[in-house]
Amino acid sequence: MSKIDHSLFEAHEHALEHQYGPCPDCGQELRIRNSKSGPFIGCSGYPDCHYAKPLHDNQTTTLKVIEDSYCPECGSSMAIKKGRYGMFIGCTNFPACHHIENAKPQTDTSVTCPKCHKGHLLDRTNKYGKRFFACNRYPECRYVVNFAPVEKSCPDCGWAILVEKKGRLVCPQPLCGYKEAQSEQEAE
């Protein structure tokens, strides 16, 4: 005689199968299905019915409305929201207005862009938190550099800036390869 009552497991499995209700297209039961991109909810009458929906909705949720803070585009109040990439401050009138406040303001490095000579390089952060420096005239000028720029021209190729990489000044041009010696930088 077995010490495990198998009827307990069967009841649990059947409860999980029927918790999503009927299919809105054909009326058959919805079940959790698996695909190469992850689990989803699909119709049990699959070959005949192709109804599917995601298991988890990746929509934004409003956590708190900020008092005395209004959207500069539409005038609605601003709110702290949680979305796919974390928390952010956005407009409560979302489908009509897409305004989002920057969590970190972009700081101007006051280094002139070496490509267009009209803009300045801004200290920015990408969605993964990596720091980079880009021209403030984007999208007209698409100059980007990954290390902190210094307004000092390269003595070899004449490029308008050098970048600070691992404690030394380096030319950002890949064909140049200029690297300032450690002693030169410490002498200044």
State the Cα–Cα distance between residues 60 and 104, nearest whole angstrom. Answer: 20
pLDDT at position 144, please?
A: 93
pLDDT at position 7, please?
A: 67
Query: With contact defined as beta carbons under 8 Å apart, do 56 and 37 qualify?
Result: no
pLDDT digits (tens, 9 = 90+) for 24-82: 888 888 888 888 877 888 888 888 888 888 876 666 777 888 888 888 888 888 888 88
State the maximum Cα–Cα separation within the chain, in Å, rounded to a whole number: 88
Q: 179 — phi, psi (to 5°)?
A: -135, 125
Query: Average pLDDT for residues 117-126, to the nearest whole number?
Result: 88
Query: With contact defined as beta carbons under 8 Å apart, do 171 and 183 qualify?
Result: no
State the Cα–Cα distance between residues 147 and 125, nearest whole angstrom. Answer: 12
pLDDT at position 138, please?
A: 86
pLDDT digits (tens, 9 = 90+) for 124-173: 888 787 889 999 888 899 999 999 999 888 888 888 899 998 889 999 98
DSSP state at residue 67: E
